A and B are shown apart, each in its own frame.
Chain A
Amino acid sequence: MGLNWSDIDNLAQELEKRYPETDLSVLEHDELRKLVAGIDEFDDKTVPDDDTMESVIRAWIYIQFPEEPEKVGSGNID
């Protein structure tokens, strides 16, 4: 079975395998669609909404930079 836009985590893994140097702090949604189209296993013709694409980018960012979430906002801190 091929990949589709709802396979957020798997899509992010595949993208990182292929394009590890992508600067995700500025990646545009149009560019993401092109990168996703380049994945052989991807066979989804639907047009994703912004939230879905942003979810893929967020998942991809956490693969690039695994880190403990910041414990901020706990009080007298900033």
Chain B
Amino acid sequence: MAESVTSWKSAGGNNPDHIGGNGYEFSYTDGETGEKKTIQVDYGSLFCDKKQTGYDCFIPTLPNCDDILITHGHEDHIGGIAHLMNLRRKELEEKRARGENLTIHCTPFAREMIKKDLQGNGIPKEEWPVFDIVEPGKPFEVNGFKIEPFAISHSIPDAVGYVIESPDGTRMMTTGDFKTAQVPLGQGWDDKQIAELAKKGIDYLFIDSTSSIQQGETIGEAEVKTGLKEILKQSQGGPVISGVISSSCHRLHTIALALAEEAIEREQKFREEGWPAAEPQPRVMILDGASLLLARRAMNACGYKLEDIIKKETGVDIKIVASNSKTAHRTPPDQRFYVCTGTQGEEASLLKIAEGRNKEISLDEMRAVGGEDMPIYVYDLQSCIPGSEAKHQALEEKFKQAGCKTYFPSRYKPNEYTVHASGHASAGDVAKICKICAENSPRPTMVVPIHGDPQQRRNVMKIAQENDLTACIFPNMVEMNSLGNKVISWEVADKSEEWIGVNDLNNDFRRPYYMYDKVEYDAETKQRIKTDTYKYKKAPRKPKEEENADAPKEEINETEKKNVSARKKAEPKRSEKDDAKAQPKADKNNADVIAQEVMKRKRAKGK
């Protein structure tokens, strides 16, 4: 009788040259029946420069199963799902007719992010997968595998790792992206919970390696709050414009908390100086940018209502509004704290402000009300993504030229203020999880570093060995027999990788029209070769949409495809209506309202 085999295979995130495009397949083949059961963890996208590659992004090869476990809602872990719905449309339609469904097992916040992607990519609601909500500490069973989700800390709320126990008892722990510092929203890393899971035995430990080169443990939001309050103290007498990556919801909480605490301390100082007592008046937090508004909706839907949380934590009422609201426009400029999208200088809120074409936020309008010499502070509360350095620097330069005081922290040099904390595990965090497994697992644990470049993964291997665990490097596939006590074989990452190249022929993220290519990538020569184009059934269109559809014809040939691509610009299209609305809202009535409020406030503050 053949031996039963449990296997793990990386579909994307473990390839030598890349971070991103995460997809991990866990399978079990029964020795007696030969039956193979498979589940997948994550199905994310790998971003790339379209000008260089011809593709918007790459996704790993299609999951060969109908159950996908999601660790968290970042695009490099969920960004392939909408494309999967396109590519497997016909097959999934047939399955639905039989009452079978593709099931996404995820936490509430990840579900909100996936739904946003499905809608943004034009997947009809009737075709959406079934969502099975998972909760840390609540085990469940999928396709013969026992799954134990556990809370971890990351930059996005509701992030989890999983212990996956195959039918023969082999237990594999996959951390997802993690750090061990506490997070303000939801559950985070818990040593005890990890130790309890380890006590039941961990045969394989798959660890996020992305930040393993950094010494010590990754800092938490508490330190960011301190840095933020320091720069807030120096930002008096003018508006603050800040940039935040929208899914960094813990950072949104940190901002709100820093604003509340800064207001309390300011009020305290006034009292000490003999001014009459008043309620602390935090700046109004004003959100600008679609993804930030969507993030706030997702937070509210998942029970993370910032106003309520801050009230509970500090007793202060904080106002959070969208930039197009009346409240935002009526708030005196020096009471505004803008939170904007476009931290990397992409076509979003910050760049539009710097170039004077943001519909809702105008430097000129604010100066018309607050005075020509009113300082305007611009802070990037996110570090620069490697590869975005030029755009990031150009963005800061534009604000400087517009007369703003800027603080754009460097990723590579020590910074004066701490305004960003990574979500990934540093060497100290990696050592912590290794130590917990070494001390608690009754069986030997083998560490497999994932989601990192070769140097980062080598460092995880070194840390694992220092903590008395065995570790292996660069496998793309591991096969083990019962209870993981013997590795049958492993495959070293091949020079040649297979990806699905995602090409939006419309070059319009608001009305994408996707073509999918099979792309082979040679990691040695760095050459990409298109070997095939996937045929897929397009989503049905409604008659009204058909009338305005600007998508290329379905039977478009290769030459036409190239022409369509060349005709369209890489930049997002702006409608005439957008252009008309791009005029700043510096109408006289609005300026009057603000001026009156400024006066009222000054009077109130006067003795």
Contact = CB atoms under 8 A, between A and B. Distances in A.
Given A20-B324, A23-B324, A58-B116, A69 B385 contact: no
A21 B509 contact: no
A69 B544 contact: no
Given A20-B324, A74-B385, A78-B155, A66 B289 contact: no
Interface stretch (B72-80, B180-188, B199-207, B491-499): B72-80
Chain A, interface SS category: loop
Contacts of A67: 289-291, 341-342, 346-349, 572
B287 interface: yes
A52 B79 CA distance: 21
B349 A65 contact: yes
Interface in B371-388: 382-383, 385-387
Contact of A25 (B128, B297, B346, B420): B297
Contact of A21 (B120, B211, B325, B544): B325
Chain B, interface SS category: loop
B248 A78 contact: yes
Contacts of B45: 73
Interface string B38-61: 000000111100000000000000
Nearest to A56: B119
A61 B386 contact: no
B108 to A, nearest CB: 13
Contacts of B77: 73
Contacts of A64: 290, 293, 322, 324
Contacts of A1: 544
Nearest to A1: B544
A78 B347 contact: no
B259 interface: no
Nearest to B72: A73
Nearest to B543: A1
A47 interface: no
Contact of A71 (B292, B385, B422, B424): B385
A64 B327 CA distance: 16
Interface in B76-90: 76-77, 79
A69 B424 contact: no
B74 A61 contact: no
A56 B74 CA distance: 23
Contacts of B247: 70, 72-73, 78
Interface string A44-58: 000000011011011
A69 B120 contact: yes
A76 B76 CA distance: 11
B293 A78 contact: no
A61 B294 contact: yes
A11 B383 CA distance: 38
Interface hub of A72, A73, A75 (most chain B Cβ within 10 A)? A73
B301 to A, nearest CB: 8
A66 B571 CA distance: 12
B320 A70 contact: no
A74 B46 contact: yes
A57 B290 CA distance: 11
23 contacts: A7-B544, A10-B544, A21-B325, A23-B327, A24-B293, A25-B292, A25-B297, A61-B294, A62-B290, A64-B322, A65-B289, A66-B290, A66-B574, A67-B342, A67-B572, A68-B348, A73-B76, A74-B75, A75-B385, A76-B386, A78-B155, A78-B248, A78-B420
Listed from nearest, the 7 A-B pairs whose CB atoms lie closest are A75-B19, A73-B74, A73-B76, A73-B75, A68-B347, A67-B348, A74-B47
Given A7-B542, A51-B125, A66-B574, 16 more contacts: A21-B325, A25-B287, A25-B297, A64-B293, A65-B341, A66-B572, A67-B348, A71-B47, A71-B75, A71-B344, A73-B77, A74-B46, A75-B19, A75-B20, A78-B245, A78-B420
Interface of A: 1, 6-7, 9-10, 20-26, 51-52, 54-55, 57-59, 61-62, 64-78
